[in-house]
C-alpha cells in the first residue's frame, strides 16, 4: 500500500490521540474466548482505571482488519493504545485476535467475531461490562464483519463505528480475485444490509480517509449513500488528507478531531 511504513514499524505505531489516565490502565490479557479446531483464540480486556469492583461499564468490541500475518493483531500498537484510550475515556475496551489470514478465511473469522461477542455478553459480569451497552468498532478489512450486527448474528449492540473500512464487497478490487462466492460477498457487505433493512440498523459512525485506496472509498461512499437513502442514523467524518490508518500515520489536527468526535459519539450512544 502506498505511503505505508514497513510492517515491522507499522505494528508498533500507536494512536495519535491521548487523554489523561492512559498510563494507569491495567489490561487483563490473553483471556481465551474460543478454541475452533483446537486453536485457542484470546482477547484482552482494558477496564477503566479506578473503577470499583463489581461496577458495570459500557464496552467497545474492536474488530481488527486483515488479512495480516499471524502477529496477534490485538498486540499491535494501534490496538494496545486504543485499548488504553478507550479505558481512560470510561469504556471497557475488548480487543481480540480472529482468523482473517486471507479472503479464504473470511467465514472462519466471522465465526470468531460471533464467538468473541457472545463470550463478552455471556461473561459480562466477570468482565465488568454492561451487556446492554456495547458498541462494535471495525477497522479496514474488519468492516465486512459489521454485517453480523445488521443481520442479528451478534448480540444486540447500541452503536457501530467503521474506520477506513471495507463496507461493500460486492464490487471486487481492481485486479483482485476474492475467494468468495457472490452470495458471500453480499452477505459480508454492510452496504447491502443497510438497504435491505430499511434503516433498522444501530447508529453508525463512518470515518473516511481521503487519500485511501479508491476501491475502499468507493465502497464507503456507496454505504453512506445507501444509509442515507434508507434514513439510517449515520455520521460521516472525512479526513481529506488522511491516509489509510490515518489514526496512527497522520499526527495532525484532523486525525485527533476525528478520534475525539468518535469518542463523543460512543459516549452519547452508550449513555
Q: Where are the domains of the chain?
A: 7-269
Give the cell for residue 243. Answer: 491516509
- pLDDT, tens digit, 9 for 90 and up, residues 52-75: 878 899 999 999 997 776 658 999
- pLDDT, tens digit, 9 for 90 and up, residues 148-203: 999 999 999 999 999 999 999 998 766 555 677 889 999 999 999 998 886 688 99
Task: Look at residue 202 in the predicted model and tell me its pLDDT.
Answer: 93
Helix, coil or strand: residue 61: strand
Q: What is the mean pLDDT of the chain?
A: 93
Q: For residue 214, what are the contacts with CB-CB under 8 A and spacing of at least 6?
A: none
Burial of 173 (0-12, 13-18, 19+ CB in 10 A): middle
- pLDDT, tens digit, 9 for 90 and up, residues 77-116: 999 999 999 999 999 999 999 988 777 788 999 999 999 9
The pTM is what?
A: 0.95
Q: For residue 2, what are the contacts with CB-CB under 8 A and spacing of at least 6?
A: none
Task: Look at residue 176 in the predicted model and tell me its pLDDT.
Answer: 57
CATH fold of 7-269:
Rossmann fold (3.40.50)
Amino acid at each position: 500500500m502506498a505511503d505505508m511504513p514497513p510492517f515491522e514499524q507499522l505494528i508498533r505505531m500507536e494512536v495519535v490521540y491521548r487523554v489523561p489516565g492512559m498510563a494507569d490502565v491495567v489490561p487483563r490479557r490473553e483471556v481465551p474466548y474460543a478454541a475452533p479446531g483446537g486453536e485457542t483464540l484470546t482477547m484482552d480486556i482494558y477496564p477503566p482505571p479506578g473503577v470499583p469492583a463489581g461496577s458495570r461499564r459500557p464496552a467497545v468490541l474492536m474488530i481488527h482488519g486483515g488479512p495480516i500475518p499471524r502477529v496477534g493483531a490485538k498486540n499491535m500498537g494501534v490496538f494496545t493504545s486504543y485499548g488504553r484510550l478507550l479505558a481512560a475515556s470510561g469504556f471497557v475496551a475488548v480487543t481480540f485476535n480472529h482468523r482473517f489470514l486471507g479472503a479464504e478465511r473470511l467465514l472462519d473469522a466471522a465465526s470468531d467475531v460471533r464467538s468473541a461477542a457472545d463470550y463478552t455478553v455471556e461473561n459480562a459480569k466477570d468482565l465488568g461490562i454492561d451487556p446492554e451497552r456495547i458498541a462494535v468498532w471495525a477497522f479496514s478489512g474488519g468492516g465486512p464483519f459489521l454485517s453480523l450486527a445488521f443481520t442479528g448474528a451478534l448480540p444486540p449492540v447500541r452503536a457501530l463505528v467503521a474506520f477506513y473500512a471495507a463496507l461493500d464487497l460486492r464490487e471486487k478490487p481492481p485486479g483482485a480475485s476474492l475467494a468468495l462466492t457472490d452470495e458471500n460477498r453480499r452477505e459480508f457487505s454492510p452496504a447491502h444490509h443497510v438497504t435491505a433493512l430499511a434503516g433498522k440498523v444501530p447508529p453508525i459512525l463512518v470515518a473516511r480517509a481521503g487519500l485511501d485506496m479508491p476501491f475502499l472509498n468507493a465502497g464507503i461512499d456507496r454505504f453512506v449513500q445507501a444509509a442515507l437513502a434508507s434514513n439510517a442514523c449515520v455520521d460521516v467524518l472525512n479526513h481529506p488528507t488522511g491516509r489509510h490508518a490515518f489514526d496512527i500515520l497522520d499526527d495532525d489536527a484532523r486525525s485527533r478531531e476525528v478520534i475525539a468526535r468518535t469518542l463523543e459519539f460512543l459516549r452519547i450512544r452508550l449513555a
